[in-house]
Amino acid sequence: MNNLLFVFFIVIFFTGHAFADPPLPQQKMDLEAQLNNETADKKRLEQQAAKAQKNLDETRAKMVRTGKRVQRREKELHGLERTIADLQKEKEAIEKRLNNEQASIASLAMALQRLSRMPPQAMLARPGTPLKTAQTSMLMKNIIPVIEAKTETLKIDLERLEAIEKDTHEKKDAEEKALASLQKEQAELKRLVGQREKQFRAANRDLLAKEQEIQRISLKAKNLEDLVARLRAHEEEERTRNAKRTK
């Protein structure tokens, strides 16, 4: 009874597919060829996925390195800004001392000028002795060169600070340009990482779909092999049975 049912289903299978599908051996060959093609495509997709992973890793690593360079530039820029602020404070202090010294020189010069223009009679009429007045005049004349020397030193210090300040500003400008360039590069790398992440995900999706397709074809081929094996087994049973009948 079971044999009859099996033959019945086989007949139904062949009559239902006789005009639609090729013979089973041909179907098996077609599936094997399709499986070979899909396997070759899988290898190609694996290479693409590996390349996408490598590109993504390299871009991420480059972005990390660029980020560190940006941090170093920012730190150097902040240091230069602090240096400029300190130089400006020192410059203002020197300018204040210089103005004070120059004001002192001006006051002494005016006092000496007034004394030199004073008639002897008026000098004798001033409180104190003429000797004290003369001593005061000599003292003022001696102080002026000292103050002028200090003033000259302050001018030299001021020029030195202005040169340092100019050089620091130039370095700051260069750092700002370098930082802007790095920030631009960082933004481009961030965009590139996003793009390569999409490529990596797409490559892995394609690879997964291909693996699923290979599994489907493999299962279909296995089912076909099982069917062919069962048919051959049935044919063998029939031959054995017929051989016994003829004895």
Per-residue pLDDT of the chain (247 residues; tens, 9 = 90+): 444 444 444 444 444 444 444 566 677 777 788 888 888 999 999 999 999 999 999 999 999 999 999 999 999 989 988 888 888 888 888 888 888 777 777 776 676 666 555 555 544 455 555 545 555 556 666 666 777 787 788 888 888 888 888 888 898 998 899 899 999 999 999 999 999 999 999 999 999 999 999 888 888 878 777 777 777 777 777 777 777 666 5
Q: Which pLDDT belongs to residue 119? A: 55
Specify the pLDDT at position 235. 72
Buried-exposed string 5-35: b where 16+ CB fall within 10 A, e elsewhere: eeeeeeeeeeeeeeeeeeebeebbeebeeeb
**Which residues does 70 contact at the CB level (< 8 Å), separation at least 6?**
179, 182, 183, 186
Listed in sequence order, the residues at least 6 apart from 32 whose beta carbon sits closer than 8 Å to its beta carbon are 221
pLDDT of residue 47: 93
The predicted pLDDT at position 15 comes to 44
Contact 66, 189 (CB under 8 A): yes
